[in-house]
């Protein structure tokens, strides 16, 4: 499955283009075994007659006919510099997890993998976030009541990769054919391009967070202004009733103040949580880049001392 995902990206993933596919397998005891996968075909807006759901059903039906595991257990997606914490991923994973409880999403990072170590992680939505998504209420009050923060939106599932003997043999053959110079390239430091791109994406997300904070502060100011207007209206109403009472007239009828002053709608906070989660991911990436570079410096120095 891992080799198929890597092959899919190398064939169709160009730059920041994301590739996706379906995971197949079965549940055994307390673990989920992912034993097969197939990619989503690339199609443009001109392919209006393409039915993605029908394509998946036909693929699973064909796999069943040849006695291959065909149960739907999630999906996979490549990522561009760790930019996977998005609303699209949240909605997709919720649909999978709501229909099939054991579903996971595998995130493959080709940029980290090119630095010398396979980057493949599995995520699920936490039970708290699943409940909020079912209600479709992303207001600040609902998220506060559910105690949802960006740290507890996703839960990472540990991955254990098991190869068949044939796969191990093939990997050994590939390693024998690889040039020695290519192996030493793993000791080269992460280029400033990778670090600069991560910092640029981090800055863009911080700008988005700043704009979202401005919107929320505007909402708070509007709420405060409306509260003052309601208070002034109630005071005027009370004075008018006192004057009418002194003249022996009946007081003005009670009115529903909430109808006169409709409260402003709070901006949804889910986007802010996703932006915060993405900022945290970028910070982790930069931290890992620095740690890898430090480790490579020590290893390069050790090799130089050994050669001397």
pLDDT score, position 122? 95
Q: What's the token pair of residue 191?
A: 């280029």
pLDDT above 90 (res 107): yes
Count Cβ atoms within 10 A of the Cβ of residue 308 and give its class: 0-12 exposed, 13-18 middle, 19 or more buried: exposed
**Residue 196 pLDDT:** 80
59: its two tokens: 């693929």
Provide the 3-class DSSP secondary structure of residue 123: strand
Residue 246 or residue 75, greater confidence: 75
> Per-residue pLDDT tens for 140-191?
888 888 888 888 889 999 999 998 888 889 888 887 877 655 555 555 555 5
Contact 166, 176 (CB under 8 A): no
CB 282 within 8 A of CB 112: no
User: What mean pLDDT is predicted for residues 19-42?
Assistant: 89
Number of other residues whose CB lies within 10 A of the CB of residue 283: 13
Q: Report the range of poorest mean pLDDT among 22-26, 90-94, 115-119, 154-158.
A: 115-119
Average pLDDT for the chain: 83
In terms of pLDDT, which residue wins out, 178 or 121? 121
- pLDDT tens digits for 266-278? 888 888 889 998 9
Q: Phi, psi at residue 171, to the nearest 5°?
A: -65, -40
pLDDT on residue 216: 87
Q: What is the pLDDT of residues 201-223, one digit of tens each?
A: 889 989 989 998 898 899 889 98
In DSSP terms, 39 is beta-bridged to 21
Name the residue with higher pLDDT: 69 or 144: 144
**How is the beta sheet containing 120-125 ordered, strand by strand?**
31-39, 20-28, 71-78, 104-108, 120-125, 154-157
* pLDDT at residue number 103: 92
Residue with tokens 């000791």: 187
- Distance between CA atoms of residues 198 and 191, nearest Å: 11
CA 111: distance to chain centroid? 17
Question: Any idea which of 73-77, 107-111, 139-143 has the lowest mean pLDDT?
Answer: 139-143
Task: Using CA atoms of 265, 266, 271, 274 in order, give the dihedral in degrees to the nearest 10.
Answer: -150
Torsion, Cα 89 95 97 101, to 10 degrees, reads -170
- Are 37 and 75 in contact by the 8 Å Cβ rule? The answer is no
For 286, what's the count of Cα atoms within 13 Å in the CB-facing half-sphere? 16
Residue 217 token pair: 């502060």
Region 279-284: what's the mean pLDDT?
87
User: What is the arithmetic mean of pLDDT over 7-13?
Assistant: 87
Mean of the pLDDT values across residues 248-258? 75
Identify the band that residue 286 occupies on the pLDDT scale cut at 50, 70 and 90. confident
The pTM assigned to this predicted structure is 0.75
Q: What is the mean pLDDT of residues 32-52?
A: 76
Cα 143 from Cα 273, distance rounded (Å)? 10
Do 9 and 119 touch, CB atoms closer than 8 A?
Answer: no
């Amino acid at each position: 499955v891992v080799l198929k995902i890597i092959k899919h990206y190398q064939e169709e993933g160009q730059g920041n283009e994301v590739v996706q596919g379906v995971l197949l397998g079965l549940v055994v005891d307390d673990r989920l075994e992912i034993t097969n996968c197939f990619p989503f075909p690339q199609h443009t807006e001109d392919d209006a007659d393409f039915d993605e759901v029908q394509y998946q059903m036909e693929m699973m039906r064909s796999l069943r006919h040849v006695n291959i595991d065909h149960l739907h257990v999630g999906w996979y997606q490549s990522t561009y510099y760790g930019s996977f914490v998005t609303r699209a991923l949240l909605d997709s994973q919720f649909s999978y997890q709501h229909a099939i409880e054991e579903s996971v999403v595998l995130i493959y990072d080709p940029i980290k993998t090119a630095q010398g170590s396979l980057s493949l992680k599995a995520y699920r939505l936490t039970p708290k976030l699943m409940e909020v998504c079912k209600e479709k209420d992303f207001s600040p009050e609902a998220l506060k009541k559910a105690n949802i923060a960006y740290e507890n939106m996703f839960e990472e599932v540990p991955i254990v990769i098991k190869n068949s003997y044939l796969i191990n043999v093939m990997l050994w053959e590939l390693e024998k054919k690889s040039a020695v110079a290519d192996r030493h390239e793993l000791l080269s430091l992460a280029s400033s391009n990778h670090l600069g791109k991560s910092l640029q994406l981090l800055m863009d997300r911080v700008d988005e967070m700043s704009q979202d904070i401005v919107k929320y502060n505007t909402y708070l100011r509007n709420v405060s202004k409306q509260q003052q207007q309601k208070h002034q209206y109630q005071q005027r109403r009370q004075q008018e009733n006192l004057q009418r009472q002194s003249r022996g007239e009946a007081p003005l009828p009670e009115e529903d103040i909430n109808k006169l002053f409709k409260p402003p709608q709070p901006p949804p906070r889910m986007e802010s949580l996703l932006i915060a989660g993405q900022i945290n991911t970028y910070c982790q990436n930069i931290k890992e880049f620095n740690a890898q570079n430090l480790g490579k410096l020590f290893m390069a120095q050790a090799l130089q001392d050994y050669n001397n």
